[in-house]
Structure 1
Amino acid sequence: MRAVRALTGNAAAAYGVKLCRPEVIPNYPITPQTIIIEQLADFINDGELDADFIPADSEHSAMSIAIGAAATGVRTFTATASHGLALMHEMLYAPPQLRLPILLVDVNRSLGAGSGIWVEYNDSMPERDSGWMQAYAEDAQEVLDMVIQAYRIAEDPRVVLPFMLCLDGFILSHTVERVEVPGQEEVDAFLPRFSPLNRLDPEAPMCMNMAVSPTHAMEMRYQLDRQMERARQVIAEVDEAFGKAFGRSYGGLLDTYLMEDAEIALITLGTATSTARVAVDELRAEGRKVGLIKLRFMRPFPHEELREAVKGLRALGVFDRSVSFNRFGPVFTEVRSSLYGSGVPITDHIAGIGGRDLKVSTFRDMFALLERSASGGRVRECTWHGLRGEM
């Protein structure tokens, strides 16, 4: 039976995981993710979830345990953030190539010397080429819903890849929102029992993760690339099916807002989308033809969908909450590559780094630069918004 609850983004993730009935949950705590694991521990302790809860000695070990568990053919979940994801890096490359559909929730947080505990995407963006599907949630409801969708997408026989769901640290992870929690019977009907392609079984021995010579390694990578490409269709199908079952859908790989007659538009992801949407509403009320493209997935990247969405635009901006320290942010480089030859002028807009506040005025400033670009004015290819003092 459905219930409406007041949940943080972290709690929404935990409720979504519980409804998916994972059997193994290896874990290691790190701020701002810890509440997810604590909530799941409570569910297990209270008899609401039948799962093995395995405290690890590090995030590297947590992912190693997840790999071992998934290899035996059971639904597996873990969560981390920031330096924890960085410590997992070595092990992240195994699940895609072993075809293990593990779900990992990353609560985005800055990392490195001089970093804090606040949100930026420099933890998850470096992992976009590891073979994991990677999605970004806007609010707590989308977090819960995407946990459920993620397992169905990842375990689909056409995909069978691990899934990384990212949510903004503190802004989303610790903010309480209204969330509709589906009933267990509804989720059971939507999410089939996990049926692994292969599994470790003493009665039917097999080798996993053996060394692969140059005669076969390239073909393995090619197959992984094709699996990621096939995931695009599955993501769209699952989102549509979820909408029919639960009354909510999110557009698949990307979503658009007031793009029908837009002349300029901004690409956003994560919680910033909600703030940018307010800016769009204000500018529309002033008679300006602006629109918004919500990028939901970094992997697989929505190449065709994006090219369709930007048709007719006079200028396009890309919001980046991370930076490659080579002038541009990673989302911008992906977008520019995808839209090569489209003729749409594209500029990068870096903001919110290290948890810096993003205001409606921040996005109005971005749109002001886009309007100047659309009118033929000179605009920097990359602008940092909200810097303190003269830089």
Structure 2
Amino acid sequence: MRNLRNRMSAQCYVVGGGSSMRQVLEGSHAVSEAVRLAKVQVMSAYPITPQTHIVEALSEYCEDGRMNAKFICVESEHSAMAAVIGAASGGARTFTATSSHGLALMHELLHWASAARLPIVMAEVNRALAPGWNIWMDQTDSLAQRDTGWIQLYCEDGQEVLDTTLLAFRLAETVNLPVMVILDAFFLSHTYEPVDVPDQQDADRFLPPYSPRIQLDTKNPFAMSQMAPPPVYMEMRRNIQAAMECVSACFDRIEKEFETVFGRKYGQLETVACDDAEIILIVTGTAASTCRHVLAEL
């Protein structure tokens, strides 16, 4: 765990006039709480272990009125991505979640979402791809999607999951590219730990309502994602690359705003004991906590 935990009270703390309540949450529910706070308007997902708890919670939030959102039930992960692509094209703030073979099944439409410059946020719970059949942690599923045009943000603990999910919506809507928030299967998705959940007022300060630059409009209809001859297509791809190259600076700026509101920050890359190191180990996810602990023992 990061040292920032030591600066948090046992129950709640106040930053900039707002407040945050500490709850014991599993990583999956840290995602669903962040999606609730983000006031997502349309969600669609197909359940797959170990992502299931995320979408179960969100469907309950829609049913009991904690969220004013539409949850679209579908028959596959491919259809889930198609549904949020349609909703995002219509100007809605959208979210989905998947894992492993579900992400692999989405592959075709991952390209569509990024090429259409849709700011979709997806929680991706890292899980191994078969064979052999394996429901446990492995990053092959997300790493295989590196070149689809999605930003990938890897999380170490439950607090970072919640915070990064909120930040992901701001980042996606700033650069108009989709974002994966990635968490480890079971080690993080199903592990309970203290998480400070901000109140809605502070979440709204950081993440205002989504205001799309372009959206489908029935009163002024036009075509989107139509035929693109090679020169136009090449320009589209260059624009996606240019947006990707802006992500680093945008992330830093957005995270400074996040720190102002919530009093926490993570950075794009955290270095530990690197100054005189002969060997540097680069890790993502919960393995970072293990490495941090081992370094403290050396």
Q: TM-score higher than 0.5 here?
A: yes
Return 5+ residue gaps in structure 1 as ranges.
284-391
Look up the match of 2:211: 195
Alpha-carbon offset, residue 234 of structure 1? 0.5
Distance in 2 separating the partners of 1:238 and 1:162: 16
Alignment partner of 1:173 out of 173, 183, 189: 189
Partner SS, residue 268 of structure 1: coil
Q: Partners of 1:75 and 1:256 in 2: how far apart? A: 34
Residue 26 (structure 2) aligns with: 8
Determine whether 1:279 maps to 2:297.
no
- What is the percent sequence identity of the aligned residues? 47
Supply the AA of the counterpart residue of 1:22: V
Q: Indicate conservation of the 8 Å contact 2:30/2:161, yes or no.
A: yes
SS of structure 2 residue aligned to 1:237: helix
Moved more, 169-178 or 208-217: 208-217
Aligned to 2:69: 51
- TM-score after normalising by structure 2: 0.92
Distance 1:221 1:197 in 2: 19
Residue type matched to 1:3 in 2? M
CA drift of 1:155 comes to 0.5
CA contact (8 A) 2:117 2:177 kept: yes
Q: Which residue of 1 aligns with 2:179?
A: 163
User: In structure 2, the residue corresponding to 1:270 is in which secondary structure?
Assistant: coil
Can you give the 5+ residue segments of structure 2 that lack an aligned partner in the other structure? 1-18
Equivalent residue, structure 2, for 1:387: none
- Counterparts of 1:342-381 in structure 2 under 5 Å? none
**How many angstroms does 1:86 deviate by?**
0.4
State the Cα RMSD in Å: 1.0
Task: Work out which of the residue numbers 104, 115, 119 in structure 2 matches 1:97.
Answer: 115
Maintained 8 Å contact 2:205/2:261 = no
TM-aligned CA deviation for residue 168 of structure 1: 0.3
The aligned residue for residue 123 of structure 1 is 141
TM-score normalised according to structure 1 size: 0.70
Q: Distance in 1 between matches of 2:140 and 2:99?
A: 11
Number of the residue aligned with 1:37: 55
Output one character per residue of 1:239-267: Cα deviation in whole Å (capped at 9) or x when no partner. 1221121111001x211123344343211
Q: Is the 8 A contact 2:155 2:181 kept in 1?
A: yes
For CA contacts below 8 A with separation 6 or more, give which structure has more relative contact order.
Answer: 2
Aligned residues: 280
Secondary structure at the aligned position of 2:44 is classed as: strand
Q: Which runs of 4+ in 1 moved over 4 A?
A: none
Distance 2:230 2:63 in 1: 48
**Per-residue displacement from partner, 1:86-143 (whole Å, max 9, x unpaired)?**
0000100011111110000010100122131001011110111100000110001000
Q: Where does residue 259 of structure 1 map in the other structure? A: 274
Highest Rg: 1 or 2? 1
Given candidates 211, 214, 223, the residue that maps to 2:230 is: 214
Q: Give secondary structure in 2 for the equivalent of 1:40.
A: helix
What amino acid sits opposite 1:153 in the alignment? Answer: L
Greater displacement, 121-130 / 41-50:
41-50
Query: What secondary structure is seen at the aligned counterpart in 2 of 1:256?
Result: coil
CA distance in 2, matches of 1:215, 1:47: 48
